[in-house]
Structure 1
């Protein structure tokens, strides 16, 4: 019989229970025991839900209080000395490594955080050094397996595989000559030890995720896969069934290393890469192995076409004469990237809701496909309703706007090119702004206080009038402007008190978007987002941000930046359509933003920032034509949005938490860019931008951490940057927006940052 599997389930809770408990613990309002109890309750809910639906392979160890990769770092004692020296308990060590910790007896920054492949999830990068004592340092996977077992639920524990764990890590700043993959021999016995303990606890199956198999791997990494799974397979078979799992792309270039491994089965993502099917089935004998078919999308919210998916799996069985017992129907990846339950949505148009499927519904889809393949007629009504939904979406007039399509078709090179090159623009801009050396600014948002959230909620519910809400927003903008003037920032922002989210705020004002009430997805730690959903062609009916920007500029003589979210970020941080290509969606967004940029300029806003933090996230995972094509159309979309202004208007952009290529940023032709830098400890990173022609600000403090950097720390960091980067082109700014911080931290951090900039102005003045 065909079986069903889920690779991972959201851990946040249907009502964000984990966020509330975790942040309560950080604030001292929730005890450790209370936080642990919430985690236990959420795990139990998730397991029981999947059991009740009928999933055969239910995951465990997919829960985390912060990040699953960080959990593994603690499990294997990959803990830099700067954390272990404080003798914190495991939970506080986890949080210190993930977000930093500063209190009377502890002062430590967070580890580097980067995007998980091409998703908007952020993981904490494992950081290795020569002196680390790698050992088993806990029992989380075993504890959670036993927890489920006590409930009468047999789970399949999930671990990030050894090669991915090492490949996705980096050497610490004191061990830069260390290649993490060289540590494989030290970690294989640790994996064996953990899995042996799981076997002793009663586990019969284990899921080892090796998502790096969809990347361009060098021979050393390929050899490591062969070595790792020969070691684990021979050491642990037949005591446990190892399922080697990949997702987010094709494994075809690395298929040679998978052919003869002693594992029970393989999982592949056929949502992202259905074209890999024949190559896989010709390379691996699935009469001997189990094939897990990732056919229900773990990354998007569109309802699965059940008939099409069932036919796809049946064709595999028929064409290759495979036994049904060797087939597993599964989610393409963990469902971590999707909201928890569509039944929590009560205000969306019911016709549109019928097109969607969240994590809970995706579990139902997986099981329904498996049952249909097994000839179970109980799912016939489900398939009929599904076909009706798929057909309704395909034929809906909501998805098509002829005027938008014609406008996209008319885009040409002229539309995407500034009137003059940067070397000419910068001369004009210097005369207009007359900024000092080391100009200071922030990225955009200021703290979203409880008062702001309360008033926004009142406005949404209609308990205050639009006029009352506008008066409140103006008072918040003035507060932010006066604070920035007081501490001496040079280029100001209005603070964004009116904005709920940097994509949602604009999406709510564009035609073609839909929005959820409870469609929360974890981005990192306790930071959850509600990605908007692109349901049709996109356009801007009226100005979206001009009113607030104009008001902010009217109450100060200093320049105030207009703040917009760029087309690639609006696309990547939404759930995109799956019925047209992403380039078309990006260009539709770029035209809507072009209209907004030109309206801001016409209203007297002289500096406009169009943020693209998701630019690198969208880069295809493998080098080649697809990647170069993406960079071409992504840069084109940004330039279409920004190139319609005069030379005197300064265009800024911002990027964060990614490994960036200066050539990609150069292609945007922004006048000034700001880049997350505070967690970077590679001395070569600054050098990569040495020849970047335009102006740049490397972020000087981590806005995801409550820790406050001192003036001396800022000075030391800038000193290091100036060893490589020219002072005349360097801006001083934080890593990212400040909406998640409180005012106390914000005031101290920005004051210290501005004081450091003043220090360098004096220093360079004296040199002159």
Structure 2
């Protein structure tokens, strides 16, 4: 028997040039029908399988391909379609988590516009069709889409299963269909992939109290039937993903897992199960490795060394195969194959394993397809990159080294060592000016000149704002004309002067619109920005941008994170010209707009040769220079957005405090150089804030705005249970919905918040940026928002409650 086999856990769906995305959007816009969509995506799917075979993958995943999301696919496999889409209760759903850089459920093609409350029925085989599938994913005119949130701590979003009132049933054996397709079309004996039942239920919502195990007992025989049919069809291996096992795992969960996998073994005794985990170390190693499965996959890249320590401490069962995830499935850097080979030997020795599966640490869904398309990058950077295809090649080299000896791949190993060393030795990674600046940072937390209580009074005199001042989050509609102008400039069709003239005209138009609406604190609109992270990555030293390094964020929405490969520093001011021009047009304050260090880090492909804290602090020092330049240019309100602060929390609670301490330090290093009169704002996307409210306060921003319109009641409780003394704007209308808010709704949301917040703290603002919304939606919504603020001020005045100072400390 071979010592090692190469195993892949999942492959990118989108295609080298986003062919998948284009097909989806063509279907949604009515250009191709469902039959053509399915036939064309089948060609893509088969090409991906053939490519993996060509790259010497031995255990090739099938069924990891999706037309939207793999969790949604699993829900549909078991008939878990929300009742409102099938004629049951017409309940609403909402996004649990928005990505400010993209806008939730807002792909580039318009959603289907059902004029009626259409309900969906299963076909004769019990399966729901594509129309129902996309309706749940994207919503219709009548029914809200299912919730969407981040897949663990990645930037991929999954559709949250809604289980209210549902009983699972097997509608179609999706893994079997994909297994047979690969076998019949390509002769590939694939490894079907499916999300495991414990993970599926743990990630779902709407499970009635005490009904979790009832649902699990209903699901187990359905999964068992899927596995039984796979075994009967000749499948050798199946990959069951249970990433939930890297979170806290209770004794009750261990009992459930034993029941689940004992039932699976009984149903399909001839089928081998790879129980796959990823993104962190498993929480109950000794229990997990004893489960009745044939192989267990562990992440040895993002485990913080814990899986390896557990393996060396407790060993590994000799009747199981260890899936060793040693190639990073979430980042884009080439591996030093000598280091990886040494790690594999250490793993093999600790496990006492006769056989290993050499794998990526997770599905390759989270990385771009291939570096072959990146010929425009500098060779030292390109040679240091490894996307999905290159990672499979790395795995093949490691497998050959284990099976045939290191000398069989000596040239490949030496090439990888040289490429990594060359990048590490490059001037861009060894900038002494950056190292000197970091060395001057005090270990103590950076502080503003004065505490907030003093700054509040100073700003009250400096900024004569009314009670409940109004503002927006930053971005304004990016129309087709704005995108076309940027494209013409980048292609050289417009010169710099033409482009700047366009930007100035658009900025002035929106300054006037904001003034006419009556907004108190204005924004310049960010018309020059393609993306809230990529824009800064294009201008800061240490970053570069790729041509085709796209990854799926959700649905057809793809993002192209900047590549942070070197030491970061500010070369020249990035935002001062646009901000100063906007401020010159009005007597009202205009906020300068920056993306914060934690979000830039979290939404980039980041170098892996330095600790997170060091890289964050490099970004922070660059932003600190930009903040100072804005202040010197007369910009007295500066917003440093951190929408990714909460989502970057480690998966294990024991690691939270160090992460939060480092995040607070970096934010404060960015913002504390300013005078007391300068007001620092920040913005965060909705999440559970109650458990990190102290860290939010510790940022010491003068004003924070939080995306909360859809979950306002839940969020307000965080401020009931804790004390927050700084300015705050809880978004009063949902920018992700095309419907226009009613004044009564906005007033109701604000009044609920004002039950627990001092009116002197409270700002009135939308819950997120307005980049993705149409002008005809934005202007009336902002008018209603301002009218609501005026009405609320009048109510306070009549009640004798207007205390004279807004959240900025201004006069009413």
Determine the structure 1 residue equivalent to 2:679: 650
CA contact (8 A) 1:204 1:240 kept: yes
CA shift, 1:491, in A, is 2.2
**In structure 2, which of residues 761, 765, 774 is the aligned counterpart of residue 742 of structure 1?**
774
Aligned twin of 1:353: 382
Residue 93 of structure 2 corresponds to residue 91 of structure 1: no
Verify the 8 A CA contact 1:199 1:239 in the aligned structure 2.
Answer: yes
The CA deviation at 1:90 is: 4.2
Please, which of 260, 273, 298 is the counterpart of residue 228 of structure 1?
260
What does residue range 386-405 of structure 1 map to in structure 2 within 5 Å? 386-405=416-435
Q: Does residue 203 of structure 1 match 2:227?
A: no
Contact 2:61 2:190 in 1 (8 A): yes
> Counterpart of 1:60?
62
For each residue in 1:165-204, what CA deviation from the matched residue of structure 2 results, as whole angstroms up to 9, or x when unmatched?
Answer: 22223337xx5x4675663223223322333343344433
Deviation of the 1:727 alpha carbon: 4.1
Residues 481 and 493 of structure 1 are in contact (CA less than 8 Å); yes or no, is this contact kept in structure 2? yes
Distance 1:31 1:677, change over 3 A: farther
How far does residue 97 in structure 1 lie from its aligned partner after superposition?
Answer: 3.6
How far off its partner does 1:329 sit?
0.4
CA 1:738–1:239 in structure 2 vs 1: closer, same or farther (change >3 Å)? farther
Q: How many residues align?
A: 754
- Matches of 1:451 and 1:379 in 2, distance apart? 53
Q: Equivalent residue for 1:45?
A: 47
* CA displacement 1:283-316 (0-9 Å, x = unmatched): 4644210111101100111101122212322333
Asked if structure 2 preserves the Cα contact closer than 8 Å seen for 1:110 and 1:679, the reply is no
Higher mean Cα deviation, 255-264 or 145-154? 145-154
**1:693 match:** 725
1:547 to partner: Cα distance: 0.5
Q: Which deviations, in whole Å up to 9, do the C-alpha atoms of 1:332-373 show, x marking residues without a partner? A: 101111111111112111121100001111111112211222
Deviation at 1:689, TM superposition (A): 2.3
Residue aligned with 1:126, SS = coil
The structure-2 alpha-carbon separation of the partners of 1:37 and 1:436, relative to structure 1 and needing over 3 Å to count, comes to farther
Q: 1:328 to 1:189 in 2, by over 3 A?
A: same
Q: Any residues of structure 2 matched to 1:41-190 within 5 Å, and which?
A: 41-85=43-87, 86-88=118-120, 90-102=129-141, 106=142, 108-129=143-164, 131-152=165-186, 153-171=188-206, 177=209, 180=212, 183-190=215-222
CA positional deviation for 1:269: 0.6
Residue of structure 1 in register with 2:452 after alignment = 422
* Secondary structure of the structure 1 residue equivalent to 2:523: coil
Partner of 1:548: 578
Q: 1:258 to 1:413 in 2, by over 3 A?
A: closer
* C-alpha separation in 2, matches of 1:308 and 1:712: 62
Is residue 477–residue 552 contact of structure 1 (8 Å, CA) maintained in 2?
yes
- Alpha-carbon distance in 2 for matches of 1:550, 1:478: 12
Aligned residue in 2 for 1:21: 23
- SS in structure 2 of the partner of residue 760 of structure 1: helix
CA distance in 2, matches of 1:200, 1:339: 35
Distance between the aligned counterparts of 2:84 and 2:798, measured in 1? 37
1:523–1:659 distance in 2 versus 1, CA, 3 Å: farther
The equivalent of 2:113 in structure 1 is none
Alpha carbons 1:163, 1:181 under 8 Å: kept:
no
Query: Match of 1:151, SS?
Result: helix
- Encode CA deviations 1:419-445: one digit per residue, 9 max, x unaligned: 222222223323333333443322222
CA–CA distance in 1 between the matches of 2:313 and 2:380? Answer: 43
Comparing 626-635 with 349-358, greater Cα deviation is found at 626-635
Q: CA deviation at 1:592?
A: 0.7
Shift in alpha-carbon separation, 1:678–1:311, aligned structure 2, 3 A:
same
Counterparts of 1:83-482 in structure 2, within 5 Å, are 83-85=85-87, 86-88=118-120, 90-102=129-141, 106=142, 108-129=143-164, 131-152=165-186, 153-171=188-206, 177=209, 180=212, 183-236=215-268, 238-251=269-282, 253-273=283-303, 274-280=305-311, 283=314, 285-318=316-349, 320-323=351-354, 326-375=355-404, 379-412=409-442, 416-482=446-512
In the alignment, what sits opposite 2:622? Answer: 592
Going from structure 1 to structure 2, the CA distance change for 1:382 and 1:652 (only over 3 Å counts) comes to: same
DSSP 3-state at the match of 2:606 = coil
Distance 1:280 1:318, change over 3 A: closer
- CA RMSD for the aligned pairs? 2.6
SS in structure 2 opposite 1:731? coil
SS of the aligned residue for 1:542 comes to coil
TM-score with structure 2 setting the length: 0.87
CA pair 762-257 structure 1, distance change in 2 beyond 3 A:
farther
Please tell me whether the aligned partners of residues 329 and 370 of structure 1 are also in contact (alpha carbons under 8 angstroms).
yes
SS in 1 for 2:582: helix
Say whether the 8 Å CA contact 2:289–2:317 is kept in structure 1: no
When residues 707 and 289 of structure 1 are mapped into structure 2, their CA distance, relative to the original with a 3 A threshold, is farther
CA–CA distance in 1 between the matches of 2:613 and 2:466? 40
Instruction: Quote the Cα distance in structure 1 between the aligned partners of 2:220 and 2:32.
Output: 38
Superimposed CA distance per residue, residues 130-155 of structure 1 (whole angstroms, 9 cap, x where no aligned partner): x2233234444333333323322222
CA displacement 1:570-622 (0-9 Å, x = unmatched) = 11111111111110111111111111111111211121110111112322221
Matches of 1:225 and 1:409, distance apart in 2: 49
> Aligned equivalents of 2:213 and 2:579: distance in 1?
50
C-alpha displacement at 1:743, in angstroms?
A: 3.0
The answer to whether the 8 Å contact 1:242/1:265 transfers is yes
1:510 paired with 2:528, answer no
Q: Which residue pairs with 1:575 in the alignment?
A: 605
Question: Quick check: 1:121–1:337 contact (8 Å CA) kept in 2?
Answer: yes
In the aligned structure 2, how far is the partner of 1:732 from the partner of 1:654?
13
Measure, in 2, the Cα distance between the counterparts of 1:199 and 1:182.
26
Partners of 2:677 and 2:727 in 1: how far apart? Answer: 15
The CA distance in 1 between the partners of 2:664 and 2:775, in whole Å, is 36
Aligned ranges 1:651-690 → 2 under 5 Å: 651-660=680-689, 661-680=692-711, 683-690=713-720
Matched ranges for 1:587-666 at <5 A: 587-624=617-654, 626-660=655-689, 661-666=692-697
Counterparts in 2 of 1:317 and 1:726: CA distance versus 1, 3 Å: same
Relative distance call for 1:766 and 1:44 in structure 2 (3 A) is: farther
Contact 2:543 2:564 in 1 (8 A): yes
Matched residue of 1:536: which SS? strand
Q: 1:520 to 1:481 in 2, by over 3 A?
A: same
Residues 110, 705 of structure 1: 8 Å contact kept: no
- Quick check: 2:376–2:547 contact (8 Å CA) kept in 1? yes
Does residue 533 (structure 1) correspond to residue 563 (structure 2)? The answer is: yes
